[in-house]
Amino acid sequence: MVNALEKFSREVIITNELGIHARSAAKIVALAKDAKSLVWIIKDGEKADASSILDILTLECTQGSKIIVEIADPLDLDILNAIAELVEKRFEE
């Protein structure tokens, strides 16, 4: 049985040259908005709401940055994986 407070996360590295910029952040937001619960992007201990472009941009994720995509609800596992895959595919840029 899963503890209600247990978090689910996946670490990925930003590999595209421009890092996370407005267009790539918008792609993350588009995925996160369908989540049943909160989705976060975490970099160096700083946590940003993945449904907010401004929150994501404040993390200043440049090329080579390690980020963690985290969800609280296991029903959002598909969204966690979709965001991680988007990052791994260099935001399809």
User: Which residues have a catalytic role annotated?
Assistant: 21
Phi–psi pair at 53, nearest 5 degrees:
-60, -45
Beta partners for residue 46, in sequence order? 43
């979709």: which residue's tokens?
82
Provide Rg for the chain, Cα atoms.
12
